[in-house]
Structure 1
Amino acid sequence: MSTGLAPSDECSHDVVFKGLCVMCSKDVSGPVFGNSGAGATINMTVDGRILVSQKAAERLERETAERLHKERKLSLILDLDQTVIHATVDPTVGEWMNDTNNPSFPALTNVFKFVLPEAPTVYYIKLRPGTFEFLEKASKLYELHIYTMGTRNYAEAVARIIDPQRRLFNDRILSRDESGSFQEKKISRLFPGEGERMAVIVDDRGDVWGWCRNLIRIKPYDFFVGIGDINEPLGANGKAAANQLKQTGVLPATILPASSSSSESTTPEAQQEIKEDILALVATETAALTETPEVAAKHLQETLSQIQQHAIHRQEVSRPLKDRPVLHDNDTELEEIMQRLERIHREYFGMLDEEGDCDVRDVMDGLRKRVLRGCEVVLSGVVPVGFDQRRHDLYRFATIFGAGTDKVHKAVKQGGIHVVHPDWLYHTAIAWKRLPEESYRLVKEKSRPTSANASSTQTPMGSSADQSESLDDEVDEQVNIGGIDWSAMDAEIEAEMDSSDEDENEGEAVEKDDDDFDVWAEIEGAMGDLEEDEDSSDGGVDGEDGKKRKRSPSPFSSSKK
């Protein structure tokens, strides 16, 4: 029986299901149609079974936006590993769970375990404190999605733990099996049209998202100390070694694995396997230069999957947790993230009701810009020589959160400059509020005790290996850190002071730092709670007494604009 539709050499209809056009039944899965760019080319399901045209995608996105607006909801994309869970395959955890006398036993509440179909390895999953409460609250304001670099089987196993009744996520799960990437996440894989205008992301890594405007970067959950992200095959150390190999042709003598720095993981056998994995990765990336994008992506996925299996096996055998200290779990990060999500939701729908249109990215930009508004940050002694500071994480965080970075001479003329550990800026970026500079102040005296957490910023913030422990425990000691060239830093400041007299002719008054100024009271009044609006036009802030106060100098150096 005829369908009344005349076939054409190239299908241009709007919807394709499993490689067949739903209108004319043409097979469009082959190279002629699948790569032609005509008709339906946009994924609308995580498994890629349904493709639609750009026109159809835009229509579906509009319909979704209208539905969510009626429900007074936004979209929330949640990562899994080190965001709401922490995973390990170390059998030591199973032994602790079976021993009520073990000192770590009380902390093992909400530790679950499962085995995936493809291997007998037992995965131990620790839920971040407050996960169930967080998901319930968030689901009232957001439609929830999972986006993970774990496999499909892994993602579904975790989803069965955190959403056993499938009420919260349903089938809205995107894994690396569908996204095809270990190395990056794209919001367009979930929202190919204008859906990103209503989407918020919570992830412990920003680099995989390209630090997109939709992102709330959460502090990595590191319950199993030293394990890191089980779905990040090489970790920061391995990536750095791979880059060194590509640039110099030489691998470092010792490469710490992604999961642990334990002695068992640095045995000659483990080192040899890690180096072979890095060589395989670099070879795959080199071969990709002469391959089609589809073939290159397939080969890279296969190589990284093999590397991950090696890393999991090493962790299972070496048992890095057996020599670790007693486990503790006092994490409260999800409570703070929920407050931010509530604020974003409230401001979005307030603007939507008032103006008839809104972009959640503009709302998030506005909230972030208030955090360091009025600060001038000087990155002295922390950006490598010859490195473009605009590409450095610290520069990115300073500008994203509202600080100025180009009026150094004003900060220098102000005097009373705070010189602080870069952790101040990292932790401020995570917390979305300006943290007390006094807790992060650097000192030159070698006799000053070194903070146990002073090394965290040696790891890029985008990596899951980044440890942000001092965000949990208030730093009572000033931080003494090695590796800073104090003479170079002093010379840099002197140079700025010399140049400031020559180029400062703008006629703006700069307040001097008052030795009796109450920094703690000012910080509390300025940045204590994001629920308070800070839209003061003169750069000052309201204190608890309702009076205007000047801002204290920011870390590195600062002044009022």
Structure 2
Amino acid sequence: MFEMYIYTMGDRAYALEMAKLLDPENQYFQTRIISRDDCPNQDRKGLDVLQVPEKLGLVLDDTEAIWQSNKDNLIVMDRYFYFSSGCREFGYKNCKSLAQLKRDEDEFDGALATILRVLTRVHHDFFYINPQYVSVRDVRQVLKTNKRQVLRDCKIVFSAVFPRNFVAANHRLWKIAEQLGATCSTELDSSVTHVVSTVGGTEKSLWAVQESKFLVNPKWIEAALYLWRRQLEDKFPVAKCTTRV
């Protein structure tokens, strides 16, 4: 279905070792292995190194910032922490690795299974919907269209999420929500479906409860980003606050 590459900022020896682990029979990657030794720019990645046309390439990575030139090609992955050393390395506090939990990610609903479904859907839409236009189609637009279905019909107001005097529309969560198809607003009205808040005692949080709107914490948006579907709101409760904030 896809021609796959390994692209790492590790050295060549590391890249080859990862290829052996991921593809011991050399069926999937063959010689398509890119390491930092192949990269003229050590602080960014780009499809130009792979000589892949931007309108045909998709990227899976857990670091968005390094793909400045190809953000529209990127499918952001949640970081995979099997060993606790990974949590410490990236500065995650109160993080339990999968090894500590004595399990691996879910075979059907984990990150890899989810992304396989996304890739399959994008592949289908690219090649089989109005196939007469395949030659002029851009996979970035196909990906964007699919992504905007995740939080379609959601209208979100944020509370106690952004720093004071911060331009809300510039915040990462606001941008992610819009990429996922939600409408974001700073004003409360009857069309609002969700209030995303870090605490339960804010005016907007109390309004959400009073008006029977969904009240969720910011991880609800991040989970939708990584899992490519709207999450059950009751799994992302907001911490209760006994006093008005």
Give me the TM-score of the superposition, normalised by structure 1: 0.36
How many corresponding residue pairs? 220
The equivalent residue for 2:16 is 156
Q: What is the CA-CA distance between 1:397 and the residue it aligns to?
A: 0.7
The equivalent residue for 2:215 is 419
Code of the aligned partner of 1:347: D
In structure 2, do the counterparts of structure 1 residues 166 and 423 end up closer, same or farther at CA, with 3 Å as the change threshold?
same
Q: Residue 376 of structure 1 contacts residue 411 of structure 1 at CA under 8 Å; is this kept in 2?
A: no
Q: What is the CA-CA distance between 1:404 and the residue it aligns to?
A: 0.9
**Is the counterpart of residue 438 in structure 1 residue 213 in structure 2?**
no
In structure 2, do the counterparts of structure 1 residues 259 and 439 end up closer, same or farther at CA, with 3 Å as the change threshold?
closer
Moved more, 380-389 or 428-437: 380-389
**Is the counterpart of residue 219 in structure 1 residue 78 in structure 2?**
yes
Task: Show the 5 A alignment for 1:94-109.
Answer: none
The equivalent residue for 2:145 is 366
Aligned-partner Cα distance in 1 for 2:192–2:147: 27
1:17-57 deviation line (CA, Å, top 9, x unaligned): xxxxxxxxxxxxxxxxxxxxxxxxxxxxxxxxxxxxxxxxx
Code of the aligned partner of 1:164: P
SS at match of 1:196: coil
Code of the aligned partner of 1:378: V
Aligned-partner Cα distance in 2 for 1:259–1:374: 35
Code of the aligned partner of 1:199: G
SS at match of 1:202: strand
Task: Show the 5 A alignment for 1:373-388.
Answer: 373-388=152-167
The equivalent residue for 2:67 is 209
**Which portions of structure 1, spanning 4 or more consecutive aligned residues, are displaced by more than 6 angstroms?**
none
Aligned-partner Cα distance in 1 for 2:221–2:244: 20
In structure 2, do the counterparts of structure 1 residues 374 and 259 end up closer, same or farther at CA, with 3 Å as the change threshold?
closer
In structure 2, do the counterparts of structure 1 residues 227 and 203 end up closer, same or farther at CA, with 3 Å as the change threshold?
same
Aligned-partner Cα distance in 2 for 1:143–1:413: 43
Q: Residue 220 of structure 2 contacts residue 233 of structure 2 at CA under 8 Å; is this kept in 1?
A: yes
1:121-155 deviation line (CA, Å, top 9, x unaligned): xxxxxxxxxxxxxxxxxxxx000111112111100
In structure 2, do the counterparts of structure 1 residues 179 and 227 end up closer, same or farther at CA, with 3 Å as the change threshold?
same
Q: What is the CA-CA distance between 1:429 and the residue it aligns to?
A: 0.8
SS at match of 1:209: helix
The equivalent residue for 2:103 is 328
**Is the counterpart of residue 188 in structure 1 residue 48 in structure 2?**
yes
Code of the aligned partner of 2:9: M
Q: What is the CA-CA distance between 1:371 and the residue it aligns to?
A: 1.3
Task: Show the 5 A alignment for 1:34-73.
Answer: none
The equivalent residue for 1:429 is 225
Aligned-partner Cα distance in 2 for 1:419–1:326: 29
Cα-Cα RMSD: 2.9
SS at match of 1:373: coil
Q: What is the CA-CA distance between 1:362 and the residue it aligns to?
A: 1.1
Larger of the two Rg values belongs to structure: 1
1:281-326 deviation line (CA, Å, top 9, x unaligned): xxxxxxxxxxxxxxxxxxxxxxxxxxxxxxxxxxxxxxxx9xx846
Q: Percent identity?
A: 28
Q: What is the CA-CA distance between 1:442 and the residue it aligns to?
A: 1.2
In structure 2, do the counterparts of structure 1 residues 419 and 182 end up closer, same or farther at CA, with 3 Å as the change threshold?
farther
Q: Residue 20 of structure 2 contacts residue 26 of structure 2 at CA under 8 Å; is this kept in 1?
A: yes
1:320-344 deviation line (CA, Å, top 9, x unaligned): x9xx846432443211211111111
The equivalent residue for 2:196 is none
The equivalent residue for 2:198 is none
Aligned-partner Cα distance in 2 for 1:345–1:403: 24
Q: Residue 351 of structure 1 contacts residue 358 of structure 1 at CA under 8 Å; is this kept in 2?
A: no
The equivalent residue for 1:145 is 5
The equivalent residue for 1:503 is none
- In structure 1, stretches of 5+ residues that fail to align are 1-140, 229-255, 262-320, 447-484, 488-561
In structure 2, do the counterparts of structure 1 residues 367 and 258 end up closer, same or farther at CA, with 3 Å as the change threshold?
closer
Task: Show the 5 A alignment for 1:263-342.
Answer: 325=100, 327-331=102-106, 332-342=110-120
Q: Residue 226 of structure 1 contacts residue 260 of structure 1 at CA under 8 Å; is this kept in 2?
A: no
Aligned-partner Cα distance in 2 for 1:202–1:212: 11
Aligned-partner Cα distance in 2 for 1:341–1:257: 30
Q: Residue 197 of structure 1 contacts residue 360 of structure 1 at CA under 8 Å; is this kept in 2?
A: yes
Q: Residue 368 of structure 1 contacts residue 400 of structure 1 at CA under 8 Å; is this kept in 2?
A: yes
Aligned-partner Cα distance in 2 for 1:147–1:376: 37
Q: What is the CA-CA distance between 1:352 and the residue it aligns to?
A: 5.5
- In structure 2, stretches of 5+ residues that fail to align are 194-210
Aligned-partner Cα distance in 1 for 2:192–2:168: 23
Residue in structure 1 matching 2:30, options 167, 170, 176: 170
SS at match of 1:395: helix
Q: What is the CA-CA distance between 1:226 and the residue it aligns to?
A: 4.0
Code of the aligned partner of 1:401: L
